[in-house]
Structure 1
């Protein structure tokens, strides 16, 4: 077995399964009742022939974000991290970082030299997931919490991948009063936001009204 897969199996799988995530390959998925997804991925980086180097990151994919990304496809693929509205890098402690003195994004990379340091790295990753990353990210499956966090802690490791107006509309469009969201869409249009997004948002609101 690939040494990175061994680390994932022994140290990551127990933590993620206990938190309710399903596993496929090196990707872990948690689905909210409304269809929103939270992914955690272990991503190898071929940057050092002497070490196994990888990133660990979470992606939040609210269903409106996915629907907008694939709005022109009649048959949409299963939700995956490509539709993320927000992303969070799990930063390694210096002892298991590939370049502990570097700036981001290189500071985010974990590393071990199999077999000497694999167990140390695995234990540290399990600890950081349990103590830091999962408590930080699982609550963000709630859209209101994600919206609040994106406003309060824009530099606290959480990176929103759309501008503030678009992010707010996507997180409010299915649940908040239609008139309130429509006002946000009008403002986005007046500000010159992406016209296809404005059209999509209006159509989604119209469907809400028609189904009410």
Structure 2
């Protein structure tokens, strides 16, 4: 068996880096970054998760940080690299507990090709979600918010909707926040930030 670190680096070089480079990602070790001129950023990271079964064993995570989200994080003094959306590249047909764990030998060309295909699809999704309207559609169409963790749909939708300008729906969202002083997701600076974005349009 090839040493795990060496095997993983070979997978990154041959199976992961090429499709990401084609999309415009730049590489630093096992981290890949795509940044738009407006500062929106998508990131992919490859992390080892070794069980001793095959040459290469790892997870691949994608993150999306639309510009409006990074601006709010900076205003709050939080890490601007804290993602809004994230998702792991899943293994087709794998059982639930192992569905995000890639594990194969370097000579397994079928598994390597499958990784490249699945990764390229999710990379396109991550880049598309840098556009607030695309991520907003995702929020509206997925009641369980895949990729958004514990964040409430209304918070994410309000923030993203602010990039599209004033609307009766957005006014109603802001009013609901104003009338609920105990809402847990962010402090009142959130509604002030949204209103300032609207005023600047």
Q: Tell me, yes or no, whether TM beats 0.5.
A: yes
Question: Is contact 1:178–1:205 with CA below 8 Å preserved after alignment?
Answer: no
Give structure 1 regions of 4+ aligned residues with deviation exceeding 4 angstroms.
Answer: none
The separation in 2 between residues aligned to 1:175 and 1:197, in whole angstroms, is 23
Pairing 1:49–2:38 present: no
Within 2, Cα distance between the matches of 1:183 and 1:154? 20
Match of 1:11 among 4, 11, 15: 15
Of the three residues 159, 166, 186, the one matched with 2:147 is 159
**Aligned runs of 1:1-212 on 2, under 5 Å?**
2-46=6-50, 48-51=51-54, 52-73=56-77, 79-80=80-81, 83-94=82-93, 100-101=94-95, 103-104=96-97, 106-113=98-105, 115-117=106-108, 119-130=109-120, 132-154=121-143, 158-161=146-149, 162-177=151-166, 181-191=170-180, 192-194=182-184, 196-206=186-196, 209=199, 211=200
Using structure 2 for the length normalisation, give the TM-score. Answer: 0.79
Q: Classify 1:12/1:69 alpha carbon distance in 2 versus 1 (closer, same or farther; 3 Å).
A: same
CA separation of 1:152 and 1:193: change in aligned 2, threshold 3 A: same
RMSD over aligned CA atoms reads 2.8
Distance 2:173 2:92 in 1: 41
C-alpha deviation, 1:85, in angstroms:
1.4
Aligned residues between the structures: 194
Where 1:160 maps in the other structure, the secondary structure is coil
Superposition TM-score, scaled by structure 1 size: 0.76
Where does structure 2 lack aligned partners over 5 or more consecutive residues? Answer: none
Long gaps (5+) in structure 1: 95-99
